[in-house]
Chains A and B, each alone.
Chain A
Amino acid sequence: MKQHQQYEPVIGLEIHIQLNTKSKMFCSCSNNIWKEEPNSITCPTCLGLPGALPVPNKEAIKKCQLLGLVLNCSINKVSKFDRKNYFYPDLPKGYQISQYDKPLCSNGYVVVDDSKIRIRRVHLEEDTGKSIHTKDGTLLDYNKSGVPLAEVVTDPDIETAEEAATFARKVRELAISAGVSNGDMEKGNMRFEANVSMRKVSEKSLPNYRVEIKNINSFKFLKNAIEFEIERQREGLLAGRKLVQETRGWNEAERKTFSQRSKEFENDYRYFPEPDIPPMEFGNDYIEDLKKSLALANVDPVIEKVQKGTSSAEPVRKQYTLDDKGELSKVALKVICENPKAVNDYKTGKKEALKFLVGCIMYKTSGEADPKVSLGIIKTLLAK
């Protein structure tokens, strides 16, 4: 037992989340592809036909940024798409449009059971098609080609398999609450890659190798795969073996990871800026509006429940740290002064104006204000 404690895991996650936009990432094909006839939801762009061009979907960009916001990221004012070049039959252009050095969102975090998991970046890319391997050969379905994917990349802050799964679940809940993904695991809306390595307990620096476990599609498999990998690596290290940088897959039936590719065969993706899409710039107003819309979206279900008198449930799965009435009244007064139109709307019978005002309070307090308490205060102040 004592020997076992000599090593501790260092875990980082990459989470791919399909966004619930109306159309695909770079074309006007529908993004609703579930159980559709193979290759029926395609066009020259998502089939990568010669001459076809990508036009970025603004809704997908916005939803990726909203995801960044609920993961406490900052929204980058300048961002761009890049090409990631590699050959695979389900990648029709021979490159994937992704983001390399200027992602849409950076430097966020999520708190899981009192520990802070830092999020390095959230970027936007296109999904690939689907390869279906049969005994007669491989079939290709390009319906999934071009589905918008947000990729969340953490720092190596995760310490256990359990924590990884809890974190992943939390990201799913946040994505659903922000309205950016359906988070339907059955439909493959979320996929995980785990980076696992081990270091001596006394060490602070990162190990000089890293094992990447690819293509995991459930929370349970994620936990199982990481658990297996931690034990495999621990045994190896204790037996004095040198562990190598490699990519491994997870076989749930056999409950073990298996080597797919070692470091010397690592791809050089030859990233370069996507020349078909101009760089993007986002102004302060745009970013402020995003934050406001998020505050409003969060507040809506609370208010409905407050109004229906069923507010006991915790509808948005969030702890509000600011419920001090004196503090909130000051913010509320300011919001009332700044929004005479909404106040007037409320007074002339438009009840929705209340939601807006509460949203403004949420926004001003970076989402910390308790919406229930805020609503009460606003009502009291406006009744005067």
Chain B
Amino acid sequence: MLNSFLTIKDILAGYKRREFSSKEVFDLCYKNISKSEGRIGAFVTLLDREGLKLSRNSIPVGHKDIFSTKNIETTASSNILKGYKPPYDASTVKRLSDKNFVCIGKLNCDAFAHGATGENSDMKVTKNPYDLTRTPGGSSCGPAAAVASGFVLMATATDTGGSIRLPSSFTNTVGIKPTYGRVSRYGVIAMTSSTDSIGHITRTVWDNAYVLGITAGFDPKDATSSHREVDDYLDTIEQGILGLKVGVPREYLENIPANIKDRFYESIKLLEGLGAKVVDVSLPSTKYAINAYYIITPSEISSNLARFDGIRFGGTRNKFGGEAKRRIMMGTFSLSAGYYDEYYLKAQKARTLIIEDFKNAFEKVDVLVTPVSPILPPKLNSIIKDTLKTYMMDVLTVPVSIAGVPSLSVPGGFIDDEGKKLPFGIQLIGNYFNEKLLYRIGYALEQETRYYETTPAI
């Protein structure tokens, strides 16, 4: 009998030993979906179980709805793209399908990935499996909720300012935002081309490392993808962290509520217990990150969304939701003649300072460790009306995005709030292309805590 909450590692081993078939694995996922999807709302498109072509080693995967999937509707959860079926697969989708990952559906997100709660989706509201009255975080609400609920073994997602890490943190899952350029962006509907990072969400660190080994690597179709050779993310994962230098950037702990801070320092103590040396570091330009991000991001968005002009596909521009319109207007303003220097150029200068901060820090330490979110998963319909508050949910994840360094969100335990145990995540930030080290540290923590075994009661 299969456990309801599988991992990729488990099923790969099971397939190898012929303990169960891929049919049984897919049946189980579809059983979980039929039991709970009505309450969770992770999928915008769910493919018919009977239509799937399975092989002996197939693994069920869901793609965030901004990944182009050939002949499968791809809307970016925006009404403007309703009915659009791409004639091609995103490079990541292709790489995964070549390695036995079979797509069972498309997952909800904030429209065009603009948001931190999933509530900007034009399609539906996704609920947090650990408390159905709360958001699973955004913009990758569907991918995080689907993985946490056992609907899929892995979900692809994108992280432009925190869109993988935040929902991973809110759903007790593992989310990677790889180094900018490590995974091809080809075929993923662009939000902010200069910070869009293609990653994924899994239940465990091992699974996450396994998948990056497939998706990472140069793509001739993406001029910003790196030629650098892809590391073996699994060969040192069990090596432990004895002697590693862990930096805690003090700016990230300012304004963090006590309940989150206390649990965060428990993880830091755990790292010390495992042999790491913890040091205090400073990243003084952190304070400019959110401001710079909300200039650069809307600027690129205003241009990237220009192609949705209602001529070749999709609806007219009045189908854009409120947040897309807001970002188009802000971005158009900051790129306009007479304002460019004052806004866009200044933001790019701030970006240089933030990059310098990380470079300096990584001369002193191997990894930086911070909380992922300054708050616990908010109640649905609570924060979304306050745009600035929503933007501030990304305050701890945006600097990483602006600098382009990799970051892994791993479960940091649960915090009691109104009688519910709510997940919260730890962010491990590495130097450029050092995802391998993040997995090693994440794995060491996970082996100690095994939080992933605490599955939601849905």
Contact = CB atoms under 8 A, between A and B. Distances in A.
Given A47-B312, A52-B186, A85-B335, A92 B223 contact: no
Contact of B189 (A51, A56, A87, A272): A51
Interface in A1-55: 44, 47-55
A44 B335 CA distance: 27
A50 B223 contact: no
Interface string B211-238: 0000000001111100000000000000
Interface in B72-105: 74, 76, 81, 84, 86-88, 90
A346 interface: no
A83 interface: yes
Interface string A194-224: 0000000000000000000000000000000
- In terms of DSSP, what is the predominant structure of the interface of chain A? loop
B336 A92 contact: no
A382 interface: no
Contact of B186 (A47, A53, A278): A53
B187 A52 contact: yes
B224 to A, nearest CB: 6
Contacts of B192: 275
A106 B190 CA distance: 33
A92 B314 CA distance: 13
A87 B311 CA distance: 11
Contacts of B311: 89, 92, 140
Interface residues of B, number: 43
A51 B184 CA distance: 11
Contact of B188 (A47, A51, A89, A92): A51
A51 to B, nearest CB: 4
Interface stretch (B149-157, B241-249, B302-310, B393-401): B302-310
Contact of A278 (B67, B68, B224): B224
A107 B188 CA distance: 40
A272 B340 CA distance: 9
A241 interface: no
B193 A87 contact: no
A275 B194 contact: yes
- In terms of DSSP, what is the predominant structure of the interface of chain B? loop
A57 B311 CA distance: 27
Contact of A270 (B86, B188, B193, B335): B335
B68 to A, nearest CB: 5
B335 A94 contact: no
Contact of A53 (B185, B306, B335): B185
A48 B332 CA distance: 20
A276 interface: yes
A93 interface: yes
A95 B303 contact: yes
A92 B307 contact: yes
Contacts of B189: 50-51
Given A51-B86, A56-B223, A94 B303 contact: yes
Interface string B318-334: 00000000000000100
B309 A50 contact: no
B340 A50 contact: no
A47 B307 CA distance: 10
A64 B199 CA distance: 37
Nearest to A48: B307
B299 interface: yes
Contacts of A56: 223
A150 B13 CA distance: 57
A44 B185 CA distance: 14
A89 B188 CA distance: 23
A272 B81 contact: no
A51 B187 contact: yes
Contact of A85 (B193, B194, B223, B303): B303
Contacts of B300: 272, 275
A113 interface: no
18 contacts: A48-B312, A49-B313, A50-B189, A50-B308, A51-B67, A51-B188, A51-B189, A51-B190, A55-B221, A92-B311, A94-B306, A95-B306, A270-B337, A272-B303, A272-B340, A272-B344, A275-B224, A276-B224
Given A49-B68, A278-B223, 7 more contacts: A44-B86, A50-B189, A53-B221, A93-B307, A94-B308, A275-B193, A276-B193
Interface of A: 44, 47-56, 83, 85, 87, 89, 92-95, 140, 268, 270-272, 275-278
